[in-house]
Every structure is written in structure tokens, then in C-alpha cells.
Amino acid sequence: MNFDRELDVKGLNCPLPILRTKKALAEMAAGQVLRVLATDPGSVKDFQAFARQTGNELVSWNETSQVFEYFLKRK
């Protein structure tokens, strides 16, 4: 998937991945896509809730070798 910016929050635990994602999205234009790489297993539910609460779209996510990859589209 194409993305406009990447954010690596591997090794960080809740709430830091979400806080850094929120800051990164705030610096992006509407419609741009942010790719986030995280290792916190709890981040799956966190990112789903974050997307619902903020209106940003969680386009997709997957896990490979204990690294979670999220694609969020800025509202």
C-alpha cells in the first residue's frame, strides 16, 4: 500500500504509540496515509478505538514477526 509518511513506534508501550500517531497525523494533510510500525500487542485494539474516536480511517493492519503494521488515512 502507498503511504505518505512512516512512523516507527516499535518498543514503545501504550499510550505512546497512539500519542505519537496523533501528533504525526496532525502534521499531515487530509487524505494522506500514515504507516505505523508497532510491537505492542495491545496496539491493535488501541488503533481500532483511536480510528473510531477521531474519524481517521484505519485502512488496514497486519502482523508479521511480532511487528504490527497500520495504515491510517487522515480525515
Q: In this predicted structure, what is the pLDDT of residue 54?
A: 97
Q: In this predicted structure, what is the pLDDT of residue 21?
A: 98
Over residues 5-52, the pLDDT tens digits come to: 999 999 999 999 999 999 999 999 999 999 999 999 999 999 999 999
Q: Which of 10, 45, 4 is nearest to 25 (CA)?
A: 4
Q: In this predicted structure, what is the pLDDT of residue 62?
A: 98
As annotated, the active-site residues are 14
CATH code, 28: 3.30.110.40
- Give the DSSP H/E element, type plus range, for residue 6: strand 5-8
pTM: 0.96
Q: In this predicted structure, what is the pLDDT of residue 24?
A: 98
* Domains identified in the chain, total number: 1
Q: In this predicted structure, what is the pLDDT of residue 69?
A: 98
For residue 29, give its domain range.
5-73
